[in-house]
Amino acid sequence: MIQLFKNIKELIQVREQQIDFVAGADMNVLPTIKNAYLVVKNGRITDFGNMDNCPNLPAAIEIDVTDKMILPTWCDSHTHIVYAGNREGEFVDRINGLSYEEIANNGGGILNSAKKLQQTSEEDLYNQSKLRLEEIIQLGTGAVEIKSGYGLTEEAELKMLRVIKRLKENYSIPIKATFLGAHALPNEFKKNKDGYLKLLLETILPKITEEKLADYIDVFCETGYFSVADTALILKAGLAHGLLPKIHVNQFTAIGGIQTGVKYNALSVDHLEEMRDKDIEALKNTKTMPVALPSCSYFLSIPYTPARKMIDEGLPLALATDFNPGSTPSGNMNFVVATACIKMKMTPEEAINAATINGAYAMGLEKEVGSITIGKKANFIITKPISSYAFIPYSFGMHQIEDVYINGEKI
């Protein structure tokens, strides 16, 4: 099947050459073609250009998009959308004065979600999770990473990862799976962290490899959770099983996790609300993508990742949602892009680069999605009629999506 999208007001994030990611000042450059056409053949992008050079394709299905723009779908490189139930009770507790930390220390937080998930059947978990996946696709996400980490037992971690595998099989967007067994210490191991690490690395990890259930390994490297030494141990074991690291780090405290991530070739280091100069320094000239999660900062009222300083110092940055029941019960990348502009002083160009090509890189998908490039998947958003692409973050809390196409198919 051939499709010809005609009269595109502006075709956004056009990359003639395949690139891996953009960093520093280049993040402020967003290549576009005004008054453009786009050709899709069998789900892939095969041609694009200015309407003056629009080819005559008698066999093509023509789609006129006058007044509307086309941009690649969002690449959400950090989510926890497989979870059971919700935690709006804790949300109300926070409104009434308890802190996220106090709630976690009282048995809420991650352990609360783990308890719920352990009591939920795989079928029910799948059904709850697929609704969230469908919702984020409607909101323009065309590639996503999903973590385990609300299981915290062998059975429940494998259950989560099998649900992610089923989502991969049943949905047409690229999905990457991350093993986050080291998300919190379960109560039964409170006095025996070594025992839990042994369970994760010697029992669960080999099973994950055997069933090919994960692409990446993650750790919540944080005071009161997993130390830098624990992180090093886990990342080393993950790498030995072929899993590249993507880690939670510097969310509440800066304890040296970024340096450890870089040392073990982490594909990404995520959160980064608390950044010291030496943390920024450690990321320079590496292949590790820093990932900011502004919806988490918004929801928990914690600092935003210092994007301006990081980009001005030459670093790349990706944006993701962190969709999860505790710190970010929202998977809306449109809100993430708007919040990055409003609260982190990123320009629309920087935010769109961060949420497309850089997000793709943070999932190892930069050759498949994240830009309008010949050969890539035809995963893109057709906007409503808008005056300029800056209108996308400007109209915060709303979205400007008219249609979402995945592999050239309208969703």
Task: Point out which residues bind ligand NIG (CB under 6 A).
Answer: 109-110, 113, 220, 248, 251, 296, 322, 324-327
CB of 75 to ligand NIG, least distance (A): 17
Are 238 and 148 in contact by the 8 Å Cβ rule? The answer is: no
Report the residue number, 275 or 392, with the smaller CB distance to ligand NIG.
275
CB of 326 to ligand NIG, least distance (A): 2
- Residue 61 CA from chain centroid, whole number: 33
Report the residue number, 149 or 408, with the smaller CB distance to Fe ion.
149
Alpha-carbon distance 265 to 348, whole Å? Answer: 29
Report the residue number, 109 or 290, with the smaller CB distance to ligand NIG.
109
CB of 51 to ligand NIG, least distance (A): 44
Residues in contact with Fe ion, shown as a per-residue x/- string from 372 to 411 under the rule CB under 5 A: ----------------------------------------
H/E stretch holding 134 reads helix 122-138
CB of 68 to Fe ion, least distance (A): 33
At 73 the three-state DSSP class reads coil
DSSP string, 254-287: -SSHHHHHHHTT-SEEEE--S--HHHHHHHTTSS
Report the residue number, 9 or 147, with the smaller CB distance to ligand NIG.
147
Selection from ligand NIG, Fe ion, none that 327 binds (CB < 5 to 8 A by kind) is ligand NIG
CB of 324 to ligand NIG, least distance (A): 5
Selection from Fe ion, ligand NIG, none that 251 binds (CB < 5 to 8 A by kind) is ligand NIG
Q: How far apart are the first and last CA of the chain?
A: 16
Strand partners, 291: 270, 318
CB of 336 to Fe ion, least distance (A): 13
Selection from ligand NIG, Fe ion, none that 325 binds (CB < 5 to 8 A by kind) is ligand NIG
Strand partners, 63: 5
Longest Cα–Cα distance of the chain, Å, equals 71
Report the residue number, 73 or 327, with the smaller CB distance to ligand NIG.
327
CB of 70 to ligand NIG, least distance (A): 31
If phi > 0 it is left, if psi is from -120 to 50 it is alpha, else beta; for residue 261 that is alpha
Q: Is 322 in the site for Fe ion (CB under 5 A)?
A: yes
At 111 the three-state DSSP class reads helix
Cα-based angle 371, 239, 281 (whole degrees, multiple of 5): 65
DSSP string, 329-369: ----HHHHHHHHHHHH---HHHHHHHHTHHHHHTTT-TTTS
Nearest CA to 66 out of 10, 140, 138, 139 is that of 10
Report the residue number, 126 or 220, with the smaller CB distance to ligand NIG.
220
H/E stretch holding 70 reads strand 68-72
Return the DSSP state at 56: -
Report the residue number, 322 or 349, with the smaller CB distance to Fe ion.
322
Return the DSSP state at 133: H
Selection from Fe ion, ligand NIG, none that 296 binds (CB < 5 to 8 A by kind) is ligand NIG
CB of 16 to Fe ion, least distance (A): 34
Binding-site size for Fe ion (CB under 5 A) equals 1
Report the residue number, 148 or 379, with the smaller CB distance to Fe ion.
148
Which region among 48-56, 116-124, 255-263, 316-324 touches Fe ion (by CB under 5 A)?
A: 316-324
Please state, as a whole number, how many other Cβ atoms lie within 10 Å of the Cβ of residue 120: 20
Residues in contact with Fe ion, shown as a per-residue x/- string from 273 to 312 under the rule CB under 5 A: ----------------------------------------
Query: Applying CB under 5 A, which residues contact Fe ion?
Result: 322
